[in-house]
Amino acid sequence: MEAGALMAAMGPHPASSFQPAVAGEAYTDAEVMLRVKAGDESAFDYLVQKYRRPLVSFMYRMARNTAAAEDLAQEVFLRVYRSRQTYEASAKFTTWLYRIATNLAVNHARDTRHERPEVTVSLDEPDEETGTTLDVPDSKSTAEEFLVRRERMLAIRAKVEALPERQKLAVIMHKYQQMDYKQIADVLKLSESATKSLLFRAYETLREQLKEFV
Amino acid sequence: MMPDLASGLMEVTPGIRSHLAGCVACAGKMEGFRQTMALLDEWKAPEPSPYFDVRLQARLREEMAKPQAGWLSWFRRPVLAAALTVLLGVGVGLFFTKGGGRYGSADNVVAVIDSTEPGSAVGDLQALEKNHDLYADFDLLDDLEVQHDVVANP
Ligand SMILES: [Zn+2]
């Protein structure tokens, strides 16, 4: 498949020629990745479409801003593509994917440790800092409520960010990526019981530190 | 596990339910976790911007324009890897000899870089280097110390 054809299929409204399920037979992502390895680039497009949103949100919570998150998520896809020839279906695809993502995110966090993110407060634009578009307040009371909510969101983010690295990773994968213990354990190269206790300590800390906001 | 129970990820069995009904300590803790989980839900992540797809396309196009080869199988075979090393050594030797001067002329350098075709020794080494950063990164997770977590958050 020509690069151009792949690109054509990669627009915002892609018409991927790859069918993940044919005649009731569903492919696992590992099988799809093996097709990428074999040169089927529509299979790669399928994986991009499936994981672009989860990866951007994962990176958004790991990095400090939206632009960095998108850049890092793109880098994950580039590394997946780059290493397609050496891919072995021995591990679950998502484990492999999140291991790449985790390494990039941890590296990025270390490189930008001392940078403070820009804080922009705007009531009618998407909030750079929290990443959300809060409803435009139409009265004084809702404006106050908006600020309270925003304050709370920044506190949540700060408390998650302040967790030790592995606890933070575990919480983000568990709470926001809906991954189970087994998957998280595989990504972090820990036992399931170690992962459970890691998560438990993290949630205990968050429960304690976010008390004032509940 | 309580955070799982509190967020509905785990089913509350009749046994757990009856314990919570009779145990103030556990019921209180459970409610605390439920509120914490609800609070964490407020932290939303943005959708990928339209720019995300455009930029990814551009970066992939760049990636695809690069030469690629099935290089790894070579390095899995020690004899071939050794032979390749020798050949590369000879090639470098020839290059420096032909260049006359110690580093050769600028023209020769360009010629060598231009001959980077898939499957060539130089192309393979470039591919190897390119892939190396992916695997080097994989060791990073091993550096994260459990001990650190325990100390920071007993
Ligand atoms: Zn109890």
Q: What is the pLDDT of residues B107-143, one digit of tens each?
A: 444 444 444 445 555 555 455 445 555 544 554 555 5
**Residue B149 within any structural domain of the chain:** yes
Is pLDDT larger for residue A96 or for residue B6?
Answer: A96
Among A59, A50, A95, smallest CA distance to B141 is for A95
Nearest to B131 among A83, A160, A188 (CB): A83
Number of domains chain B is built from: 2
Among B110, B124, B135, smallest CA distance to B80 is for B124
Along chain A (214 residues), what's the average pLDDT of each consecutive run of 10 residues?
A: 45 55 72 93 94 97 91 97 89 93 94 68 47 60 85 92 96 95 95 93 94 87
Cβ contacts of residue B149 below 8 Å, gap of 6+?
Answer: A164, A166, A167, A198, A201
Structural contact between residues B48 and B42, judged by C-beta atoms closer than 8 angstroms: no
**Residue B97 within any structural domain of the chain:** no
**Residue B54 within any structural domain of the chain:** no
B20 CA from centroid of ligand 1 (Å) = 6
**Residue B51 within any structural domain of the chain:** no
Give the pLDDT confidence score for residue B145 in this predicted structure.
42
Q: Is the pLDDT of residue B100 over 50?
A: no
**Residue B67 within any structural domain of the chain:** no
Alpha carbon of A35: minimum distance to chain B alpha carbons (Å) = 16
Q: Considering chain B, what percentage of its residues have pLDDT values greater than 90?
A: 27
**Residue B32 within any structural domain of the chain:** yes
Alpha carbon of B81: minimum distance to chain A alpha carbons (Å) = 17
Structural contact between residues A43 and A36, judged by C-beta atoms closer than 8 angstroms: yes
Q: Are A157 and B68 a contacting pair at CB < 8 A?
A: no
**Residue B9 within any structural domain of the chain:** yes
A184 CA from centroid of ligand 1 (Å) = 28
Give the pLDDT confidence score for residue B143 in this predicted structure.
52
> How far, in Å, CA of B31 to CA of B35, rounded?
6
Residue A175 burial class via C-beta count within 10 angstroms: exposed 0-12, middle 13-18, buried 19 and up: buried
**What is the residue extent of each domain of chain A?**
1-117
Give the pLDDT confidence score for residue B115 in this predicted structure.
44
**Residue B48 within any structural domain of the chain:** no
CATH code for the part of the protein at A1-117? 1.10.1740.10
- Condensed to tens digits (0 to 9), the pLDDT of residues A163-196 reads 999 999 999 999 999 999 999 999 999 999 999 9
Give the pLDDT confidence score for residue A123 in this predicted structure.
37
Q: Which domain holds residue B135?
A: 102-154
